[in-house]
Structure 1
């Protein structure tokens, strides 16, 4: 059957079907629940047959460092000589291109499909590569988000991968339902959930754990990010504050005093709790809900800088506080889930 625009429409299609050959196929509101979409699952399964491990990275709230973790996880795995792909399905807020240093890059087409953008041997795919202007807002309803995620999975040629890391948006919405629906039959290893220590974040992480259990996705573990501010004493700026609130920079004076009176202090790392974790933080929540706790990552300004610059925190010794914590978490993830 064909419509007036000569777009092939199956006999059992939903009303107002745009046609299987239309650019709106899978994206239109009329595509929701269409039985013909199941054919795409076969194509996706064929694409995913060359991917050994698929890991979802989730969070209950935005701003907890989920995308930073996804990026650094990918850098770490690539540094271990694994073949890694990183798929950004945060359609409305794609930050992976920035965190991989790939802003301004474009997707290219080959006879095998869409080619990921590569950095440090990591193949990266994001809607951020498709926007004419990085400041353009993506204002899409669920079916269109569903359609582009489907297109990423069926049209991108990843090649042979050891790991496909999927960076999802916060919460449990259309994107999460779609990625689980499309990938579940191909074998998802599980999900890593990123949180911060405070209760307002953990409340939503509990919902994320509940989501995983309801859709049958294993929780590989929870990462407590921004678990206290930690940085070398020598990296701090020291201020003297007057009674009226004025501040004077006395860093040079403070450093000279330490060098003269207590030079051993210069080798210390200072830590301070940023968020209230008196209720036990993510570790207690994991015990309560029966899911693994992978570890804590401190709030490290140098890790933040690495993410802003699209760099790995594992190269060199700049991220001396956060890199060891991330390395321990990734080692535990691989060991506990036999992914080595």
Structure 2
């Protein structure tokens, strides 16, 4: 068809469906040229204080124990905790090719804002766009090398950073971390609905602080009330991949920087889910 004939032809809805100008724009950014990652998994929560970083680190430990090459991208810029849990300190090394992640004792590669700051205890007082760009740099400038799994520990909520991660990184699926409080249904749904709107698969839900077992008599106590996570998962069409009890020893090991030694026995379903990807 000549240019004149094309200009005189009226477009129909059907004829425009395949037009490149009508296709949704991709916001994915390219990783560092020395990075090759098979699976990028987000760990999210609708609210803070549910132990999301502990779940991220626990899953990472299980994968590493299985022999997988694992990294953790600490995307919680204003509240980073992953380096402290593993007992690693900056500054991370960098050259013209990029920034090198630091290694935990169990060979998990870690990158966090705390590994770049001269003072780990200095607050990060940045606006949203600056924080989002920092997260992108953890993808474009960090030399992750060859990894089987990169777990992205995201800040709570559905704000700038989760949006940036979903749009800019090739996230294959997410784990939603929750707790048994009464408002959990609303909180889980917020995280679930955001993932669905961004076309990201929800792999399942992990409930933290699910119960406390008395060390003396073994009685199980529901400190935060009776759990309804199974009903919520069924309603959303997803599954519960683990229920973690309150274990003071885990908190102590995180505080002591010894979390690389932790082997959770409550996340086998989450591990199997990830291994099947």
Structure 1 contact 47–153 (Cα < 8 Å) conserved: no
Query: What is the aligned partner in structure 1 of residue 64 from structure 2?
Result: 78
C-alpha distance in 1 between matches for 2:165 and 2:236: 24
Counterpart-to-counterpart distance in 1, 2:253 and 2:273? 22
* Counterpart contact for 2:27–2:167, Cα < 8 Å: no
1:166 is paired with a residue whose SS is strand
Q: Give the TM-score normalised by the residue count of structure 1.
A: 0.69
1:47 to partner: Cα distance: 5.8
The answer to whether the aligner puts 1:117 opposite 2:117 as a matched pair is: no
| 1:232 aligned partner | 215
What SS does the corresponding residue of 1:299 show, helix, strand or coil? coil
3-state DSSP of counterpart to 2:42: strand
What is the root-mean-square deviation of aligned Cα atoms in Å? 2.2
Could you tell me how far apart the structure 2 residues matched to 1:228 and 1:197 are?
9
Q: Work out whether residues 89 and 167 of structure 1, in 8 Å CA contact, stay in contact via their aligned partners in 2.
A: yes
Using the alignment, how far apart are the partners of 2:238 and 2:80 within structure 1? 28
CA–CA distance in structure 1, aligned partners of residues 42 and 223 of structure 2: 27
Offset at 1:46? 5.0
- In 2, the alpha carbon distance for the partners of 1:99 and 1:231 equals 25
- 1:195 equivalent to 2:144? Answer no
Tell me which of the two structures has the higher relative contact order, counting C-alpha pairs closer than 8 angstroms and 6 or more residues apart.
2
1:325 aligns with 2:261: no
What are the within-5 Å matches in structure 2 for residues 216-231 of structure 1?
Answer: 216-231=199-214
CA distance in 1, matches of 2:191, 2:162: 10
Q: Which residue of 1 is the match for residue 39 of structure 2?
A: 53
The CA deviation at 1:133 is: 2.1
Scaled by the length of structure 2, the TM-score of the pair is 0.84
Distance between the aligned counterparts of 2:269 and 2:194, measured in 1?
23
* 1:180 is the counterpart of 2:180: no
* Residues 63-88 of structure 1 deviation map (CA, whole Å, 9 limit, x = unaligned): 11100111111112111111011000
In structure 1, runs of 5+ residues without a counterpart are: 1-37, 234-267
1:194 Cα deviation (Å)?
0.4
Residue 144 to residue 283, structure 1, CA distance change in 2 (3 Å): same
Return the alpha-carbon distance in structure 2 between the equivalents of residues 330 and 286 of structure 1: 14
The runs of 5 or more residues in structure 2 that have no matched partner are 1-24
CA contact (8 A) 2:212 2:221 kept: yes
Residue pair 2:212, 2:223 contacting (<8 A) in 1 also: yes
Distance 2:181 2:260 in 1: 25
1:1-340 superposed matches below 5 A? 41=28, 43-44=30-31, 50-102=36-88, 104-119=89-104, 120-184=106-170, 188-233=171-216, 269-277=218-226, 280-312=227-259, 323-326=264-267, 328-334=268-274, 338-339=276-277
1:180: how far off? 1.1
Change (3 A) 1:293 1:40: closer
- Structure having the higher Rg: 1
